[in-house]
């Protein structure tokens, strides 16, 4: 990929004479010994939606002598009219390197690869860490990762500034940075549900050497783990195995501690910072108990129904049978779950062919095939084989990736096929970003991943090795941020480069999904085809992916502009469903219809609605009778809107249903439209399940 470089004149200063500074796209891994960039241009242009994290890299390449970098910073970003990116605090990371001794597969290589990201100032306690100073050895490169959150409601336009590298002698070199803010917003809660695993004591082991007093007792464990759960949620990932102490045993117990610890994650109250995905909520959570008695399942079902969380709950009935359990273990456990509540979803990671052959398909509600079972080499897509299963009430197909088929899955043995999505450190960055494109391509209704802290649990030092199952990185997306390693006084999660790529992939999915909800799936599929042509056939060029994103962003703005008939309008609120309107439509009947939709419940589906008429606000629509519909208020036309009740009530719950969101008025703003972007609506979508069919049949 072409890297855009600012080559510093040799007469500037001793430090500047020895280095070049380059702006680099986010989807590229820069190794220390890569050839230095040669292009003289010193700028980078980015395009991001509101409520999206916009990222790029700054690469410092040393010449004949080493160079010490004491700081990398991003200036305020402003548009020509004087507007700035409000509340946009950049995060700057020094990219650490992991020395790979055994390649993951043929695409990997030994030597140093970028992965751990050490923050200059962390986003948890806002403490300075030891990202700087950093010395770049002669003839080598040092990348820095920079990201900024574009606030919801930010006026569309192009905001420009500079990223500045300061050398140890005080001299500086800069690259120009421009961010085009698009005329729409992404939801805080991911439209692609996910269920990522987590080792309950992984952080305890990684940070303190193990579970127990004095450093990691029960209370300390819960507090430390919560930082990881928040960090995942801010990367649009749901940790589904977050429950440490089961609240119920044999049907009895207390939910007090559970609700205090995990309620905010389920309700959307865990992230509140200005530079975070405010309102983001978990999309999936796994049943956790020491027993599988029907009464325990019933207690979970009743509590989750009462709190409006039930469509997030599932039972991880078996993982990869016959390895994780015997095939014969599945029907009795599933029967207990369904005896507790007929709508309790049971999940098994297997293909439909294997489940059918083993005679357990009728016990499974969520089938999760590995990606190479959804697309089989020599046979192509297997989607058609799942259609009869999906036609049954409340049956779902998710998808996952693993060590297979991209590595040997055996420690010490190099093997596997290249060209698949992976979590591997020593593969190109695009392989870490493309899985969510695959989810859309194969209509996966959620993404599962088995673990995220595995190396902390198994390696003597996760900072030295994340080699497991014949590859580097599988099962681990964090490093333990110990003060002894990164400075500061508090322990924090340290994200990997791969985790940033995961977030990029989840953000990409939102573009595809938004086009789908705007009845423009054909355009989405067309752009998808430029990036992905098969599960093991996708572009190696990040520029192709970026071109698809730009085309989709323009199409979304076009669709929203023609759909609303007004200037700017819409809804915001992400997971909570609390709508806030934009500028009213320019005609009496032209208010924006915020393209929000809720998940259908067991009895009905959520809908969206807007109404015209002299300032009358859009209505909130809920699920049909008995449903768990999610709804958001949409903006009305002209003037200040008022909330109008729609069937199902203003809280989105139908008769007999549990409300899961509250609609609010679509109120006009006074922002003056400037330029084409300002004439386009700002819309944040509510998280939408693609399928949530009512009424699971008897088991």
| CA contacts within 13 A on the Cβ side of 294 | 9
Q: Which residues pair with 212 in a beta bridge?
A: 216
Place of tokens 């995060």: 91
DSSP per position, 554-581:
HHHHHHHHHHH-SSS-----GGG-----
**If pLDDT is split at 50, 70 and 90, which confidence band does 231 have?**
very high
Q: How far apart are CA 372 and CA 535, in angstroms?
A: 7
Q: Give residue 38's pLDDT.
A: 73
Most distant pair of Cα atoms in the chain: their distance: 79
Answer whether 612's CB lies under 8 Å from 641's CB. no
Residue 462: pLDDT band (50, 70, 90) is very high
What pLDDT is recorded for position 646?
30
Closest Cα to residue 47, out of 158, 188, 145? 158
d(CA 494, CA 478): 6
Residue in 303, 298, 287 with CA at minimum distance from that of residue 254: 303
Ranges 82-86, 133-137, 423-427, 568-572: which has the least confidence: 568-572
What would the mean pLDDT of 50-73 be, rounded to a whole number? 96
Q: In what order do the strands lie in the sheet with 172-185?
A: 43-50, 172-185, 157-167, 67-74, 134-136
SS3 68: strand
Q: Is 405 exposed, middle or buried (0-12, 13-18, 19+ CB in 10 A)?
A: buried
Q: Which residues contact 408 (CB under 8 A, 6 or more apart)?
A: 414, 415, 416, 470, 471
Dihedral of the alpha carbons of 479, 484, 488, 491, in degrees to the nearest 10: 50
Q: Is the pLDDT of residue 408 over 80?
A: yes
d(CA 332, CA 315): 13
- Taken in order of first residue, the domains within the chain and their CATH numbers are 4-183 (2.60.40.10), 565-699 (no CATH)
Interacting residues of 693 by C-beta distance below 8 A, sequence separation 6+: 393, 394, 395, 600
Is residue 501 within 8 A of residue 429, CB to CB? The reply is: yes
> How confident is residue 693, by pLDDT bands cut at 50, 70 and 90?
very low
**pLDDT tens figures, 81-132:** 889 998 788 999 999 999 999 999 999 999 999 999 999 999 999 999 999 9
Query: Comparing C-alpha atoms, which of 225, 399, 237, 240 is closest to residue 309?
Result: 240
Cβ atoms < 10 Å from Cβ of 33: 10
* Rounded Cα–Cα distance for residues 543 and 546 (Å): 5
pLDDT digit string, tens, across residues 272-321: 999 999 999 999 999 999 999 999 999 999 999 999 999 999 999 999 99
Q: Regarding beta strands 111-119 and 91-100, do their DSSP bridges make them parallel or antiparallel, or are they unpaired?
A: antiparallel
Supply the pTM of this predicted model. Answer: 0.82
Q: What is the pLDDT of residue 86?
A: 80
The whole-number pLDDT of residue 204 equals 98
Q: Shortest CA distance to 453 belongs to which of 218, 615, 610, 241? A: 241
Residue 684 φ/ψ, nearest 5 degrees: -110, 125
Q: What is the mean pLDDT of the chain?
A: 82
Under DSSP, the state recorded for 89 is: -
pLDDT at 88: 80
Q: What's the 3-state SS for 369-384?
A: CEHHHHEECCCEECHH
Q: Residue 617: what pLDDT?
A: 30
- Integer Cα distance of 356 and 368 in angstroms: 14
Q: Which residues have a Cβ under 8 Å from the Cβ of 473 and sit 6 or more positions away?
A: 104, 115, 422, 423, 424, 425, 426, 466, 496, 498
Contact 397, 353 (CB under 8 A): no
What's the rounded mean pLDDT across residues 219-232? 97
Check residues 348 and 86 and name the one with the higher pLDDT.
348
CA gap 176, 192 in Å, rounded? 34
Whether 614 has a pLDDT exceeding 80, the answer reads: no
Please tell me which residue, 86 or 326, carries the higher pLDDT value: 326
Per residue in 16-60, pLDDT tens?
A: 767 899 999 999 999 999 998 877 458 999 999 999 999 999 999
- Express each pLDDT in 2-17 by its tens digit: 333 333 443 456 777 6
Mean pLDDT of 128-144: 97
Instruction: Please give the structure tokens belonging to residue 391.
Output: 């036609």
> Is the pLDDT assigned to residue 479 strictly greater than 50?
yes
Share of the chain above pLDDT 70, in %: 78
Confidence of residue 198 (pLDDT cuts 50, 70, 90): very high
């Amino acid at each position: 990929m072409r890297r855009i470089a600012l080559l510093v004149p040799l007469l500037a200063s001793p430090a500047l004479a020895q280095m070049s500074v380059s702006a680099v796209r986010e989807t590229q891994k820069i190794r220390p010994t890569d050839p230095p960039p040669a292009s003289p241009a010193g700028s980078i242009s980015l395009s991001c939606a509101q409520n999206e994290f916009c990222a790029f890299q700054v690469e410092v390449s040393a010449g004949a002598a080493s160079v010490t970098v004491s700081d990398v910073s991003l200036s305020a970003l402003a548009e020509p009219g004087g507007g700035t990116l409000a509340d946009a605090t950049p995060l700057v990371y020094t990219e650490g390197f992991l020395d790979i001794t055994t390649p993951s597969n043929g695409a990997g290589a030994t030597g140093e690869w970028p992965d751990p990201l050490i923050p200059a100032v962390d986003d948890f306690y806002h403490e300075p860490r030891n990202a700087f100073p950093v010395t770049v050895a002669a003839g080598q490169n040092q990348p820095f990762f920079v990201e900024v959150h574009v606030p919801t409601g930010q006026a569309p336009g192009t905001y420009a500034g500079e990223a500045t590298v300061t050398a140890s002698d005080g001299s500086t070199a800069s690259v120009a940075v421009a961010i085009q803010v698009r005329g729409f917003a992404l939801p805080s809660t991911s439209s692609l549900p996910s269920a990522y695993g987590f080792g309950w004591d992984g952080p305890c082991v990684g940070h303190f050497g193990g579970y127990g007093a004095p450093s990691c007792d029960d209370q300390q464990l819960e507090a430390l783990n919560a930082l990881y759960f928040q960090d995942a949620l801010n990367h649009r990932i749901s940790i589904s195995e977050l429950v440490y102490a089961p609240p119920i045993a044999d049907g009895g117990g207390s939910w007090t501690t559970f609700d205090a610890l995990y309620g905010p994650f389920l309700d959307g109250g865990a992230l509140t910072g200005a530079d975070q995905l405010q309102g983001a909520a978990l999309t999936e959570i796994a049943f956790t108990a020491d027993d599988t008695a029907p009464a325990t399942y019933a207690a979970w079902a009743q509590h989750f129904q009462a709190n409006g969380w039930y469509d997030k709950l599932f039972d991880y009935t078996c993982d990869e049978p016959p390895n994780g359990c015997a095939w014969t273990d599945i029907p009795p456990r599933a029967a207990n779950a369904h005896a507790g509540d007929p709508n309790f979803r049971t999940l098994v990671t297997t293909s439909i062919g294997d489940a059918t052959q083993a005679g357990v398909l009728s016990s499974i509600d969520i089938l999760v095939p590995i990606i190479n079972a959804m697309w089989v080499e020599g046979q192509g897509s297997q989607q058609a084989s799942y259609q009869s299963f999906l036609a049954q009430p409340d049956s779902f197909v998710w998808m996952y990736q693993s060590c297979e088929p991209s590595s040997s899955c055996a420690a010490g043995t190099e093997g596997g096929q290249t060209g698949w999505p992976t979590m591997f450190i020593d593969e190109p960055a695009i392989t870490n970003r493309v899985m969510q494109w695959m989810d859309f391509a194969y209509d996966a209704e959620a993404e599962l991943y088995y673990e995220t802290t595995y190396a902390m649990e198994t390696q003597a030092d996760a900072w030295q090795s994340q080699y497991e199952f014949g590859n580097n990185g599988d099962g681990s997306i964090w490093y333990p941020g110990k003060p002894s390693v990164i400075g500061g006084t508090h322990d924090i999660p340290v994200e990997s480069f791969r985790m940033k790529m995961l977030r990029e992939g989840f953000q990409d999915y939102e573009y595809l999904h938004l086009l789908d909800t705007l009845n423009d799936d054909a355009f989405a599929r067309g752009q998808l085809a430029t990036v992905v042509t098969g599960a093991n056939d996708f572009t190696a060029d990040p520029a192709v992916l970026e071109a698809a994103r730009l085309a989709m962003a323009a199409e979304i703005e076009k669709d929203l502009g023609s759909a609303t008939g007004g200037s700017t309008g819409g809804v915001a609120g992400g997971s909570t469903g609390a709508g806030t309107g934009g500028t009213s439509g320019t005609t009496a009947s032209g208010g924006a219809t915020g393209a929000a939709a809720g998940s259908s419940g067991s009895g009905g589906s959520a809908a969206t609605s807007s109404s015209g008429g002299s300032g009358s606000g859009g209505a909130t629509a809920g699920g049909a009778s008995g449903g768990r519909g999610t709804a958001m208020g949409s903006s009305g036309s002209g003037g200040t809107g008022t909330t109008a009740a729609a069937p199902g009530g203003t809280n989105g719950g139908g008769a007999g249903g549990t409300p899961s969101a509250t609609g609010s008025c679509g109120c006009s703003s006074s922002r003056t439209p400037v330029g084409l972007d300002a004439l386009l609506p700002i819309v944040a979508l509510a998280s939408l399940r693609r399928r949530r069919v009512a009424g699971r049949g008897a088991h």
